[in-house]
Amino acid sequence: MPTTLNPYLGFRDNAREAMTFYHSVFGGELALSTFGEFHASEDPSEADKIMHGMLTTTNGLVLMGADTPNTMDYSPGSTISISLSGDDEAELRGYWDKLSGDGGTVAVPLEPAPWGDVFGMCTDRFGTAWLVNVNGAGEAAAPDSAT
């Protein structure tokens, strides 16, 4: 099995809501385990918090996330962004619409970019930054400089 890189998102106390949202965006299978199930916290108020969440989609995307225990520092709005790219414009636009809508904000609209792709940047309602790039999609719309 090759080495994989899987984004792991941290939340204070809304990982269940966030991971369920990402499940509605990407589909696939969502597995959630709580601190209480694994007796991983001595604080009874954390029993229902998510210790580990994993979303695995049929097309190979894996996204993980967890709540941060009260005893650990939590800094929302980290400096990490998640990038989605590929050739299927309809699929990527579908993800974009869901991530940027319903409380999300658009930093760069999803539109043709100078390098010939369709590109956009947004932040979802949970503070996760997303970059979406449709490979070569803008080439068909770009003027033909050879004529």
83-138 pLDDT, tens digit per residue, is 999 999 999 999 999 999 999 999 999 999 988 999 999 999 998 989 999 998 65
Per-residue pLDDT tens digits for 36-56: 998 888 889 999 999 999 999
CATH code of 51's domain: 3.10.180.10
91 shares a domain with 130: yes
pLDDT top residue among 25 and 127: 25
pTM equals: 0.79
93 falls within a domain: yes
2 falls within a domain: no
Instruction: Give the pLDDT band of residue 75 (cuts 50, 70, 90).
Output: confident
At 3 the pLDDT is 63
Range of the domain at 111: 81-134
| Interatomic CA distance for residues 12 and 51, integer angstroms | 11
3 falls within a domain: no
The tally of domains found in the chain comes to: 2
75 falls within a domain: no
Query: 54 with 61: CB under 8 angstroms?
Result: no
117 shares a domain with 90: yes
